[in-house]
A = this chain, B = another copy of it.
Amino acid sequence: MAKIPGNPCTSSCPIKRAMDILDGKWTMLIIRDLLGGKKRFGELRYSLEGVSPKMLTQRLKQLEEEQIIRKISYPVMPPKVEYELTEKGHQLRPVIESLAVWGNELI
């Protein structure tokens, strides 16, 4: 059995740290979308189909604070805003990929 890095599930457990950030219905879906490249607010809203602007804004804001995504605002009219993953965000790719593999087996 492969050893899992880190300590047992106490408050300093790496899984706990990760999930405190990644928890939430939409978070992983946002990251998955952004792994495909920069996306605009409306694009995310569309591809997540069902998310309310409130929740999308809330999650994007939190992910930005955690420095997992970066927000790029263009000072134009009408407004144009793009979101992209930071390096820290890109490092979530293995997580998303293994999740996708598992999710695919569910059928």
Interface of A toward B, CB cutoff 8 Å: 2, 4-6, 8-11, 13-19, 21-25, 28-29, 32-33, 35, 47-50, 88, 91-106
Assess whether A95 is in contact with B91, with CB atoms less than 8 Å apart.
no
How far apart are the CA atoms of A101 and B11 in the complex, in Å? Answer: 16
Assess whether B92 is in contact with A102, with CB atoms less than 8 Å apart.
yes
Q: Shortest CB–CB separation between residue A62 and chain B, in angstroms?
A: 15
Given contacts A9-B47, A14-B104, A103-B15, contact A97 B32 (CB under 8 A): no
In chain B, what residue has the closest Cβ to A4? B100
Contacts of A18 in B (CB 8 A): 28, 99-100, 102-103, 106
Assess whether B28 is in contact with A19, with CB atoms less than 8 Å apart.
yes
